[in-house]
Amino acid sequence: MTPPQETAVAVPPSLAADRLYRRCDPAALGFETTDEVEPLEEVVGQPRASEALRFGIGMRAAGYHIFALGPEQSDRRGIVRRYLRRQAAGEPRPGDLCYVNDFDQGHCPDALYLPAGVGGRLSRDLDRCLEELKPALQGAFESEEYQTRRQGVQEEVGEEHEADLEGLREEAAEKELALLRTPGGFAFAPVKDGDVVPPPEFDRLPEAEREELKARIEGFQERLQAILRQLPRRQREVRERMRELNREVARRVVRDLFAELRSEYAEYDAVLEHLDACEEDIVDNVRQLVGGQQQEEDGRRRAAAGAPASIPGGAPELRRYRVNVLVDHAESEHAPVLYEDHPTYQNLLGRVEHLPVMGALVTDFNMIRAGSLHRANGGYLVVDAHRLLTQPFAWEGLKRALQSGELRIESPREAMGLVSTVSVEPEPMPLQVKVVLLGDRVLYYLLSQLDPDFPQLFKVAADFADEMDRTPEDEALYARLVATMVKENELRPFDGGAVARVIERSARLAGDGEKLTAHTREVLDLLRQASHWAGEDGAEIVGAGHVQQAIDHWIYRSDRIRERVQEGILRDDLYIDTEGAREGQVNGLSVLQLGGFAFGRPSRITARVRLGSGELVDIEREVEMAGPIHSKGVLILQGFLGGRYATERPLSLSASLVFEQSYSGVEGDSASAAELFALLSAIAEVPLRQSIAVTGSVNQHGEIQPIGGVNEKVEGFFDVCAARGLTGEQGVIVPAPNVKHLMLREDVRRAAEEGRFHLWAIETVDEGMELLTGRRMGERDEEGEFPEDSINGRIADRLTRFAELRRQFGPAATRDGRRNGDA
Amino acid sequence: MRPPRRILLALDASSHSRAGLRAAVRLAAPTGAELVGIFVHDIALLRLAGLAGATEIDALSAEARAVERARLERQMEALARRARRALAREADRREVRWSFRTARGRVAAELRTAAGEADLLILGVRGWFPGRGPGSTVRALLADPATPVLVLPRKSEIEREVYAVAASPEEAAEVAEAGGAIAAPLGQPLTILVPRGTGERAAGVLEESGLRASVREARIDSNGLPLEPPPPACGLLVLPSTSLRGDPETVRRVLRRAGCPVLVAT
CA A813/CA A612 separation, integer angstroms: 8
A229: nearest CB among B62, B129, B132: B62
B57:A187 CB<8 A = yes
User: In angstroms, what CA-CA distances link A672 with A195, A609, A725, B39?
Assistant: 133, 17, 28, 119
* Phi and psi angles of residue A790, each rounded to the nearest 5 degrees, phi first: -70, 165
Best residue in B41, B55, B57 to probe A by mutation, most A CBs within 10 Å? Answer: B57
The answer to whether the CB of A664 falls within 8 A of the CB of A625 is yes
List of chain B residues whose C-beta atoms are within 8 Å of the C-beta of residue A203? 52
| Upper half-sphere CA count for residue A422 (Cβ side, 13 Å) | 8
The amino acid present at A32, given as its one-letter code, is E
Mean pLDDT across the stretch A244-261?
A: 93
Give the span between the Cα atoms of A697 and A705, in whole angstroms: 5
- Whether residue B261 has pLDDT greater than 70: yes
- Which residues 481-520 on chain A approach chain B with CB closer than 8 angstroms? none
CB-CB under 8 Å, B55 with A189: no
Q: Which of B56, B63, B67, B106 to mutate to test the interface with A (most CBs of A within 10 A)?
A: B56
Do A195 and B44 count as a contact with CB atoms less than 8 A apart? yes
Nearest residue of A to residue B80, measured between CA atoms: A183
Q: How many CA atoms lie within 13 A of A224 on its CB side?
A: 30
* Residue in A closest to B106 by C-alpha: A195
Measured between CA atoms, how close is B203 to chain A, in angstroms? 36
CA distances to A321, A630, B266 from A365, rounded to whole Å, are: 10, 63, 69
B129 neighbourhood in chain A, CB within 8 Å: 165, 181
Range list of β-strands (E), A341-424: 351-352, 355-357, 360-362, 368-369, 380-384, 406-407
Facing residue for B57 by CB, picked from A166, A185, A196: A185
pLDDT of residue A303: 47
Nearest to A117 by CA among A331, A312, A305, A282: A331
Query: Per 3-state DSSP, what percentage of chain A is helix, strand, and coil (rounded to 5)?
Result: 50, 20, 30
Chain-chain contact of A195 with B43 (C-beta, under 8 angstroms)? yes
Question: Side chain identity at B1, as an amino acid letter?
Answer: M
ipTM rounded to 2 decimals: 0.88
**Of A194, A196, A289, A297, the residue nearest A246 (C-alpha):** A289
Chain A residues with CB inside 8 Å of B59's CB?
184-186, 228
8 Å CB contact of A217 and B56: no
- Measured between CA atoms, how close is B60 to chain A, in angstroms? 8
Inform me whether the pLDDT recorded for A610 exceeds 80. Answer: yes
Contact A202/B106, CB-based, under 8 Å? Answer: no
* Strand pairing category for A66-69 and A434-439: parallel
Instruction: Give how far B102 is from chain A: nearest CA, Å.
Output: 17
Instruction: Decide if A612 contacts A823 (C-beta within 8 A).
Output: yes
A266 CB-side CA count, 13 A: 4
Through-space distance between the first and last CA atoms of chain B, rounded to whole angstroms: 9
**Which ranges constitute the DSSP H helices of A405-470?**
412-415, 441-450, 453-457
Going by DSSP bridges, is the β-strand pair B34-42/B262-265 parallel, antiparallel, or unpaired?
Answer: unpaired
Measure the CA–CA gap between A187 and B48, rounded to whole angstroms. 8
Query: Which residue of B60, B79, B132 is in closest CB contact with A183?
Result: B79
CB atoms A195 and B106 under 8 Å: yes
Q: Is the pLDDT of residue A154 over 70?
A: yes
Lowest mean pLDDT among A174-178, A422-426, A615-619, B94-98: A615-619
**Nearest by Cα to A798 from A675, A649, A587:** A649
A362 touches chain B (CB under 8 A): no
Of residues A582 and A70, the one with the higher pLDDT is: A582
Q: Give pTM, 2 decimals.
A: 0.68
CB atoms within 10 A of CB B132: 15
pLDDT class for A713, splitting at 50, 70, 90? very high
Partner-chain contact A198 B50, CB within 8 Å: yes
Q: Do A182 and B52 touch (CB under 8 A)?
A: no
pLDDT, tens digit, 9 for 90 and up, residues A341-387: 999 999 999 999 888 877 777 888 999 999 999 999 999 999 999 99
Question: Cα(B241)–Cα(B192) distance, rounded to whole angstroms?
Answer: 16
- Which of A426, A323, A328 lies closest to A377 in space, CA to CA? A328
Amino acid identity of residue A353, one-letter, is: E
User: With an 8 Å Cβ cutoff, is A197 touching chain B?
Assistant: yes
Nearest to A717 by CA among A729, A699, A702, A707: A729
When CB atoms are compared, the residue of B48, B59, B127 closest to A184 is B59
φ/ψ of A215, rounded to 5, equals -65, -40
pLDDT score at A397: 94
CB contacts of B67 in chain A (<8 Å) are 182, 187
- Asked if the model's pLDDT at residue B226 lies above 50, the reply is yes
Q: Do the Cβ atoms of B52 and A190 come within 8 Å? A: no
* Region class of B131: left (phi > 0), else alpha (psi between -120 and 50), else beta: left
Calpha distance A607→B20 (Å, rounded): 120
Percentage of chain A surpassing pLDDT 90? 66
SS3 A315: coil
CB-based contacts of A304, cutoff 8 Å, min separation 6: none
> Which residues of chain B does A161 touch, with a Cβ-Cβ cutoff of 8 Å?
130
Whether pLDDT at B44 is above 80: yes
Instruction: Give the nearest partner residue to A225 out of B45, B62, B131, using CB atoms.
Output: B62
Please say whether the beta carbons of B229 and B258 come within 8 A. yes
Question: Tens of pLDDT along A82-119?
Answer: 899 999 999 999 999 999 999 998 889 999 999 999 99
Would you say B16 and B44 are in contact if contact means Cβ atoms under 8 Å apart? no
Interface of A with B in 157-196 (CB under 8 A): 158-159, 161-162, 165-166, 178, 180-190, 195-196
pLDDT, tens digit (0-9, with 9 covering 90-100), for A291-343: 755 555 554 554 444 444 444 456 778 889 999 999 999 999 999 999 999 99
**A199/B52 Cβ within 8 A:** yes
Query: Exposure of A135 by Cβ count < 10 A (0-12 exposed, 13-18 middle, 19+ buried)?
Result: exposed
Distances, alpha carbon A740 to alpha carbons A506, A513, A708, A753, in Å: 15, 6, 12, 18
pLDDT greater than 50 at residue B139: yes
Q: How many CA atoms lie less than 13 Å away from B80 in the CB half-sphere? A: 16
For chain B, the residues whose C-beta falls within 8 A of a C-beta of chain A are: 42-45, 47-48, 50-60, 62-64, 67, 72, 75-76, 78-79, 106, 127-132
Does A822 have pLDDT greater than 50?
A: no
- One-letter-per-residue 3-state SS of chain B: CCCCCEEEEECCCCHHHHHHHHHHHHHHHHHCCEEEEEEEEEHHHHHHHHCCCCEEEECCCCCEEECCHHHHHHHHHHHHHHHHHHHHHHHHHCCCCEEEEEEEECHHHHHHHHHCCCCEEEEECCCCCCCCCCCHHHHHHHHCCCCCEEEECCCCCCCCEEEEECCCHHHHHHHHHHHHHHHHHHCCCEEEEEECCCHHHHHHHHHHHCCCCEEEEECECCCCCECCCCCCCEEEEEEEHHHHCCCHHHHHHHHHHHCCCEEEEC
Which residues make beta-bridge pairs with B216? B193
- Please give the Cα distance from A575 to A577 (Å, whole number): 7
Instruction: Kindly report, residue by residue over A439-465, the tens digit of the pLDDT.
Output: 999 999 999 999 999 999 999 999 999
Residue of B nearest to A192 (CA): B44
pLDDT in tens, A724-762: 999 999 999 999 999 999 999 999 999 999 999 999 999
Average pLDDT value for residue range A134-146 = 90
**For B58, which residue in chain A has the nearest alpha carbon?**
A185
User: Contact, B1 vs B264, CB < 8 A?
Assistant: no
Question: Which one, of A666, A668, A641, lies nearest residue A803 by Cα?
Answer: A641
Query: Which residue in A181, A195, A221 is closest to B55 by CB distance?
Result: A221
**DSSP E strand stretches across A692-736:** 692-694, 697-698, 704-705, 731-735
CB-based contact (8 Å) between A311 and chain B?
no
Alpha-carbon distance A455 to A476, whole Å?
Answer: 38
Question: Which are the catalytic amino acids of A?
Answer: 670, 713
Average pLDDT estimate for A502-506: 96
Q: What are the phi and psi torsion angles at B220 (to 5°)?
A: -135, 135
Q: How many CB pairs under 8 A join A and B?
A: 93
The band of A820, judged by pLDDT with boundaries at 50, 70 and 90, is very low
CB contact under 8 A, A184 and B75: yes
